[in-house]
Amino acid sequence: MRNMISVLLFVGLTALCWGTYGPILRVGQDGMGHSHWRPFICVGMAYFVIAILVPGLLLRMRGERGAWTAAGTVWSLIAGVATTLGALGIILAFNNGGKPIFVMPLVFGCAPVVNTLYTMFTTRDHDRPGPFFLAGLIIVATGAVAVMIFKPATVQASQVVTVEKSSAADAAGDGVEVTAKTRTETTPSSNWTEKLLVLLFVAMTALCWGVYGPMLHKGQMLMQGSRLRPLICVGVAYFVIAVVVSSVILWFVPEHGQFTFTGSVWSLAGGAAGAIGALGVIMAFNSGGKPMYVMPLIFGAAPVINTFVSLAGKNVGEVSPLFYAGLILVVVGAVTVLVFAPKAHHAPGKSPAVSGAPLKQPAGA
C-alpha cells in the first residue's frame, strides 16, 4: 500500500510538471521575442543543473544500486537525444502559430500511440492487436482532428485611435479632435502552411517522446536498475544539443528576439518542469509502478492540466463544446491504446534486463 501511494505521488508530480511545461515555455518564448534557440538554451541549462549536477553529487556522496555500462549509457544517451529533439519540436510548433491549449494535447495523445507501436516493433513476441487497441488508435486520430479544427481563438483587446476633423475646427484652423475607441479583435487563424508546420512539429515531438520511455527504460535496465545514471545521460544529451549546439547556431546565424530576464526565468522554469517530470517517471517505476497504469495516468492527466493552465487568466473567445469533446477523445484514446496494447510473451529463462521487464526492488532499497 505504501509503495502504491509513492507511485501515485510520483505520477501526480510528473503529470503536473508535464501539464504545465508547454504553457510555461510559451510564456518564456514570448518574453524573448519568439526566439527559437534562446528558450531552448535555457531549457538545456535547467536540465544541466537538475539532471547532471544534482544527481552527479548524489551519486558521488550516497551512491546507489546499479553500475555504469556501455550499452546502458548508449541507450540512455539516445533517449536523451529523443526527448531533446521533442522539446525543440514544441518550440518550433509555438513559433509557427501553435498554442499550448491544442499543441500539448495532440502531443500527449499521439506519443503513447507511438510508444506502443515502437514497443511492438522492437519486441516481436506480442499478441496480435485486438479490437479495443485498434479502436483506441481511431479515437486518438478523431480527437486530434477535432482539437485542431475547433481550437479556441485568442481574443485581444486593442486600442484604435481615430482622428476626426470637425468642419468648425477646419474653418477656424483650430487643430484636430482625437477620439480614442476600443474594439475587440480576434486573432486571425494561421494560414494552411503554418498549420501544416505545426502538425509536422507536433508529429516530430510525439515521435521523439513516444520512443523516449522505452529507450530510457532499456538504458535503465542495462544499468541494473540505476535511477541516477540514466538521468545523468539524458542531461548530458540535453546539454550538448540544447546548450552547446544551439549556442553555436545562434552565434553564426543570428535570429530575432533577445535574452531577457523574464523570458529566461520562465524558460528555465519550463526546463525544470520537464526534467523533474522525467525524474518522476523513473521514480514511479522504481517504486513498483508498472507502465500499463503509470503511463495512462500521466498521459491522461497531463493534457487536462495543460488545458486548465492554458485557459487560466486568458481572454478567449467562445470555446466550442466540440473542442472539449476532441480533448476527451484524445485522452480516452491514449488510455485505451496503452491499456489494451498487445502483451509481450517473454521466453522462459530470459533475463528481465534483456527483455525489458522491470527489475525487482531489493529489500531496503
- Please name the amino acid found at residue 43: V
**Is residue 364, in this structure, part of any structural domain at all?**
no
pLDDT on residue 154: 53
How far, in Å, CA of 43 to CA of 16, rounded? 17
The average pLDDT across 160-188 equals 44
For residue 312 the three cell numbers come to 487560466
- DSSP for residue 163: E
If you average pLDDT over every residue of the chain, what do you get?
78
In terms of domains, do 163 and 18 share one? no
Q: pLDDT band at 48, cuts 50/70/90?
A: very high
pLDDT on residue 128: 67
pLDDT on residue 313: 63
Q: What percent of the chain has pLDDT over 70?
A: 76
In terms of domains, do 178 and 196 share one? no
Any idea which residue has 535570429 for its cell?
255
CB 18 within 8 A of CB 277: yes
Q: What is the pLDDT of residues 221-234, one digit of tens each?
A: 899 888 899 999 99
How far, in Å, CA of 17 to CA of 278, rounded? 9
Of all residues in the chain, what percent are helix, strand and coil, respectively (each to 5)?
70, 5, 25
Q: What is the pLDDT of residues 350-362, one digit of tens each?
A: 444 444 444 433 3
In terms of domains, do 108 and 233 share one? yes
In terms of domains, do 239 and 328 share one? yes
**Is residue 353, in this structure, part of any structural domain at all?**
no
Residue 356: which residues within 8 A CB-CB, separation 6 or more? 123, 214, 217, 218, 221, 344
CB 183 within 8 A of CB 160: yes
In terms of domains, do 248 and 200 share one? yes
pTM: 0.75
Kindly tell me if the per-residue pLDDT of 139 is higher than 50: yes
Q: What is the pLDDT of residues 119-131, one digit of tens each?
A: 777 766 556 677 8
**Is residue 19, in this structure, part of any structural domain at all?**
yes
The average pLDDT across 323-352 equals 69
**Is residue 350, in this structure, part of any structural domain at all?**
no
pLDDT on residue 74: 96
**Is residue 176, in this structure, part of any structural domain at all?**
yes
pLDDT on residue 44: 94
**Is residue 363, in this structure, part of any structural domain at all?**
no
**In total, how many domains does the chain have?**
2
Q: Which of 166, 188, 210 is the last residue of a domain?
A: 188
Other CB atoms within 10 A of residue 200 CB = 13
In terms of domains, do 99 and 62 share one? yes
Kindly tell me if the per-residue pLDDT of 176 is higher than 50: no
How far, in Å, CA of 113 to CA of 126, rounded? 16
Spell 153-184 as b/e; 16+ CB within 10 A means b.
eeeeeeeeeeeeeeeeeeeeeeeeeeeeeeee
pLDDT on residue 27: 92
How far, in Å, CA of 238 to CA of 43, rounded? 8
**Is residue 28, in this structure, part of any structural domain at all?**
yes
In terms of domains, do 271 and 303 share one? yes
How far, in Å, CA of 341 to CA of 364, rounded? 33
Q: pLDDT band at 320, cuts 50/70/90?
A: confident
In terms of domains, do 179 and 234 share one? no
How far, in Å, CA of 32 to CA of 102, rounded? 22
174 lies in which domain range?
Answer: 154-188
Q: What is the pLDDT of residues 72-115, one digit of tens each?
A: 999 999 999 999 999 999 999 998 888 888 888 888 878 877 87
The average pLDDT across 303-315 equals 75
Q: What is the pLDDT of residues 247-284, one digit of tens each?
A: 999 999 888 889 999 999 999 999 999 899 888 888 88
In terms of domains, do 51 and 196 share one? yes
In terms of domains, do 129 and 179 share one? no
**CA end-to-end span of the chain, whole Å?**
16
How far, in Å, CA of 269 to CA of 321, rounded? 32
Q: Which residue has the higher pLDDT, 333 or 157?
A: 333
pLDDT on residue 92: 92
pLDDT on residue 222: 92
The total number of residues shown for the chain amounts to: 365
For residue 302 the three cell numbers come to 497531463
